[in-house]
Amino acid sequence: VQLVESGGGLVRPGGSLRLSCAASRINFSFSAMGWYRQAPGKERELVASITAAGSTSYVDSVKGRFTISRDNAKKTVYLQMNSLKPEDTAVYYCNANYTLVAYWGQGTQVTVSA
């Protein structure tokens, strides 16, 4: 299984970024997908998730600002991040869960700074 994230970078507060995670060698359509983040000195936290059926959930701090979506044909999950805040700065990791096994991407850095 391989998960490759892209789309991170430096953005000013209030800006937007879209993260992508391309999956391979996994039954993507039947996998639950998620985005986690880890800021320096903090534990990794679940930011958003989407089930195989398309149901979504979000941590309270990003509700109304972030949107997770998936394209099963492209085996890709996205995280649209709007109204970014400095506290969103972290390494963002893609996660896939299939048959009770968790897989991780290498992470992509998101920095929100003026």
Question: One-letter amino acid identity for 101?
Answer: V
Measured CA to CA, the distance from residue 52 to residue 54 in angstroms comes to 5
Measured CA to CA, the distance from residue 28 to residue 69 in angstroms comes to 13
> For residues 15-27, b (16+ Cβ closer than 10 Å) or e, as one string?
eebebbbbbeebe
Residue 100's pLDDT is 85
Contact 61, 105 (CB under 8 A): no
Residue 31's pLDDT is 92
Among 76, 96, 80, smallest CA distance to 88 is for 80
Residue 99's pLDDT is 85
Q: What is the pLDDT along the chain (114 residues), one digit of tens a residue?
A: 899 999 999 999 999 999 999 999 889 999 999 999 999 999 999 999 999 999 999 999 999 999 999 999 999 999 999 999 999 999 999 999 988 899 999 999 999 999
